[in-house]
Structure 1
Amino acid sequence: MSPEVTAELAAGVLTVTFRRPERRNALTWDMYEGLVAACERADADPEVRALVVRGEGGRAFAAGTDIGQFRAFASGADGVAYERRGTAVLDRVRAVGVPTVAAVAGYCVGGGLGIACAADLRIATPGSRFGVPIARTLGNCLSARTLDLMVEALGRPLTADLLLTARMLETVEAARVPGFLHAVVDDLDAGLDALTGRLTTGAPLTIWATKRLLDDRSADDTAVVDRVYGSTDFRTTVAGFGQGGTPSWTGT
């Protein structure tokens, strides 16, 4: 993994940190690939109960893709390949089997906003800024899938507003968008501890089923529902309900 992105596991939380603060954590392909590798690890390691993505330095979550990634583009085909590759990263974040959290402090722009929208939950500090100001900067466009994730998180009217006017969304306005921000926190670490404490102590199979079916609500849910209701966790907690104590989840 690139030194510009690290993944550290503690108390069931795998924290991915973009470590390029001198460039406002502008994303290189090595950093995107490091994020994908962390997603693979989250799904492969049963000790991982939540995945957090954040940026180092406090000035930015990620200020978009590094412009240097575009300098070698020679044709529109290069742009198509870039957007397809970026879409694959966002889809991998969305597909992680444990809850995902984007912890935003500062700029969350372009590809950074795409990652945040692909996460299940978002928290942010006051003064953070969200946007994709490409109509005033690069003059490129987003893939349909990236737009879909933005519309899901922000709604179509606001997505159109941000892209067509190239303005930035401040935290105070973002907090008024239903469901976009889980919380606005002065202390990002404390906010993360409170949120991940809830995520890592919930019933693993309930969380797994929720994530799986939210992302494919038209699918046949028989196997998922059967696995949850047929689990040891469900039988044990039903038998002990009302007797006091906290459930001890096994994920089986």
Structure 2
Amino acid sequence: MTADGPVLRVVFNRPDRHNALTWAMWDGLHDACERADADPAIRLLALSGAGERAFVSGTDISQFTAFTDGADGVAYERRVQRVVDRLESVRVPTLAVVQGYCVGAGLILASACDLRLAVPEARFGAPIARTLGNCLSMNTYSLLVHHLGPARTLDMLLRARLYTGEEAHAAGYVAELCEPGELPVRQAEIEERLLGHSPLSMWAAKEAVRRLRTANLPNGDDLVTEVFGSTDFRTAVAAFLAKQEVTWQGH
């Protein structure tokens, strides 16, 4: 986290792990959101990943090995949602700059931002149906449906599809697409435009959209409890870390 004039920049910096998030990284993002709202000099929050291979490739899977039942899944999702909610409610505009993989936790964080700038080679998705066999929180499902609609959300999740940058842009998820060499210039241009606009007007717009999305958000702890507490999930985590195939049992 570094302040670049009025822009607070957060870079997810584990390129050797495709920027997979540790708990320290989750907490660091929460701290950045707090700083963005506490410092009147900060007018924009920009998120990106170190290197060109990933924005964020997900949560570090090794953290799931300690899970013993569905209650651990609920606790995990609540801890994640604390950060996602904080990111979505930041008063200043938020921009996700995406190269490479933006999957799992990366997709969640990008979805909680106000705008997304990406390259055609970017890949967006949450292929958990073929990897860990877990599920998302109700808030995350709501974010995806909000941005992509129910049909594209189910297409992405059920078929474990990774959308290309072009597909995400065509769906309206990505605000702007540009070639990798143009990314720094386009990011600077977007930032300059946002910094020239009314802070209160932009805050009211983003806060209104957030309230509309969450107004009737149902509880989904029962879904998380059943899926994270399943034998399939525990087996899949071990298989993923061992680079082995998993045979799904449905329980």
* Aligned match for 2:177, one of 164, 184, 197: 184
Q: 1:127: which partner in 2?
A: 121
Which structure has greater helix proportion?
2
Specify the alignment match of 2:153 in structure 1: 159
**Residues 79-118 of structure 1: matches in 2 within 5 Å?**
79-118=73-112
Please give the secondary structure, in 2, of the residue aligned with 1:192.
Answer: helix
Deviations 1:87-112 (A, max 9, x none): 11111110000000111000000010
Aligned partners of 2:34, 2:65: CA distance in 1, in Å?
A: 30
SS at match of 1:155: helix
Tell me the distance in 2 between the aligned counterparts of 1:162 and 1:61.
18
Displacement, 1:207?
1.6
1:49 aligns with 2:56: no
Specify the SS of the correspondent of 1:32.
helix
Cα deviation digits, residues 9-30 of structure 1 (max 9, x gap):
1131111000000000001110
Q: CA deviation at 1:190?
A: 1.3
How many Å separate the matches in 2 of 1:113 and 1:13?
22
Give me the whole-angstrom Cα distance separating, in 2, the residues matched to 1:204 and 1:174: 28
TM-score by length of 2: 0.82
User: Which is higher, the Rg of structure 1 or of structure 2?
Assistant: 1
Using the TM superposition, give the Cα deviation of residue 217 of structure 1 relative to its aligned residue in structure 2, in angstroms: 4.7
* C-alpha distance in structure 2 between counterparts of 1:170 and 1:50, whole Å: 27
For the pair 1:24 / 2:18, whether they are aligned, the reply is yes
1:71 maps to amino acid: T
Gaps of 5+ in 1: 1-6, 219-252
Q: Which amino acid aligns with 1:37?
A: D
The answer for the alignment partner of 2:4 in structure 1 is: 10
1:196 correspondence with 2:187: no
1:84 positional shift: 1.2
Aligned AA (2:150): R
CA RMSD of aligned residues (A): 1.4
| Sequence identity (%) | 51
Question: Distance between the aligned counterparts of 1:144 and 1:208, measured in 2?
Answer: 25
* Range 164-173 or range 18-27, more displaced: 164-173
- Give the Cα separation in 2 of the matches to 1:196 and 1:153: 22
Contact 1:105 1:188 in 2 (8 A): no
Which 4+ stretches in 1 moved above 4 angstroms? none
Which amino acid in structure 2 is aligned with residue 22 of structure 1? D
3-state SS of the aligned residue for 2:21? coil
Per the normalisation by structure 1, the TM-score is 0.81
Q: Which of the pair has the greater relative contact order for Cα pairs under 8 Å at 6+ separation?
A: 2
What is the distance in 1 between the residues matched to 2:81 and 2:144?
12
Q: Is the 8 A contact 1:109 1:132 kept in 2?
A: yes
Alignment: residue pair count? 212
